[in-house]
Amino acid sequence: MDVLYHYYEGGGITVEGPSVLVRKQLGESFSVQAKYHVDTISGASIDVITTASPYREERTELAGTLDYLRGDTLLSVGIVTSDENDYKGRSFNIGVSQEVFAAMTTLSMGYVRGSDEIGRTGEPDFREELDRHSWRLGVTQVVSRNMLAELAFETITDKGFLNNPYRQVRYLDPESGRGYGFQAELYPRRRTSNAVALRARYHLPYRAAVHAEYRYFSDDWGIDAHSTRIGYTHATLPRVILDLQYRYYTQGAADFWSDLYPFRSAQNFLARDKELSRYDSHSVRMGVSYELFTARWAMFDRGTVNLTYDWITADYRDFRDLRVNVDVPGDEPTYSLSANVFQVFFSFWF
Amino acid sequence: MTRFMRCLQVLAITLTISACSGIQPWVQPYERDRLADPIMSFERDPVSAAYLQKLYDIREGARGASGGSGGGCGCN
């Protein structure tokens, strides 16, 4: 059982809430898992400040998974529901993994079908839908007595309403006092993306491990992204495990993205979301885990308390900060944000 | 998509060749004590990892292949 409290602060917003995961073995072959997660959002992001759009206030996620182990094969089925005042998400997932080659290799594959309903606060007649299919394939390999490696592929296709119902794009408008106007963003109604990742972990001669990961992403909107991660895990003192991790992420912009269009409805598709723009991000994570008791206590076999801190920065290359007034539209400085993420969680095994 | 399918074909061919080439497992079960150490897990804290991944997915254009695809070290 994991009980977690998370806190995110950055870019003008705060997101916090609990997350609880309970997993229970049922006999020799079955196990069930249930998860409850809440995000409570407050504050105003750069998008809210500059275009006066509303924002979601609370999201509740419920998930259930059933695992069936037979020999070297593990089958999993699960459902996930996510509810906000203006967004409902439902998904079903199924997965299978099989150990082969004297358990040196584990092959896994999975499929997720998602079906979302999108609304808009204050407009009860606004209702859009989004369907999502995701296929993934993974190979985990014992490389040596000290090293594990994993190769993963995932293809995701979306069909339906993909843009944010509140966000807007801006265009040059000489008749406006500030030199530009806003109109609703408009995305294509289909998106297909592919991602491939290679990750490895290596056990050092003492009780510590290093790990590295690279992921390449590409989609048919023209976004290419690379992310790399390196980390070090050190079991120090009798009951303490320390984690240190660095992640770098960089992406190009969607083909139809622009911070400032030359005129209203300048293209078939319009986007100014910073998430689809060209940017770089750096993250540093520090974590510590402490084993609370090593002998059985009450109903628990083991228990740990864990603290993690993540510092995330993002520097947008083309997305401009409209809070700054300038004489010529497009001369505003580019936007950047810095975020702090704290997690504290308890894990108990029973 | 073509590039992705080509990668899948290379992976399938590699697995087929390795399955037919008579290669023997080179790490025996009794040699996997280090691999079984929790610090070698790709996802030691699944709730925390899922939360952080969701945080990245919301803020980034990229998505998918982010871990949790299952599998382990064959240490049972």
ipTM: 0.91
Residue B52, exposed/middle/buried by CB under 10 A (0-12, 13-18, 19+)?
buried
Q: How far apart are CA A336 and CA A280, in angstroms?
A: 10
Question: Which chain A residues contact residue B32 at CB under 8 A?
Answer: 142, 145
Best of B1, B8, B43, B48 to substitute, by most chain A Cβ atoms within 10 angstroms, is B48
* Total domains, chain A: 1
Interval A9-63: pLDDT, tens: 999 899 999 999 999 999 999 999 999 999 999 887 887 777 655 565 899 999 9
A321 close to B (CB below 8 A): no
pTM for this model (two decimals):
0.91
Asked whether the beta carbons of residue B64 and residue A275 sit closer than 8 angstroms, the reply is: no
State how far the Cα of A83 lies from the Cα of A49, in Å rounded to an integer. 25
For A239, the domain range is: 2-349
A314 part of contact set with chain B, CB < 8 Å? yes
Instruction: Tell me if A167 sits within 8 A of A185, measured CB to CB.
Output: yes
pLDDT digits (tens, 9 = 90+) for A222-257: 999 999 999 999 998 889 999 999 999 999 999 999
CA A13/CA A15 separation, integer angstroms: 7
Distance CA A139, CA A262 (A): 48
- CB contact (8 A) between residue A8 and residue B35: no
What whole-number distance in Å separates Cα of residue B18 and Cα of residue B75? 21
Parallel/antiparallel/unpaired status of strands A30-43 and A58-70: antiparallel
* Residue A319's CATH number: 2.40.160
pLDDT 10s digits, B4-57? 556 566 666 666 665 556 788 999 999 999 999 999 999 888 889 999 999 999
Those residues whose C-beta lies under 8 Å from the C-beta of residue B9, and which sit 6 or more positions away, are: none
- How much is the pLDDT for A25? 92
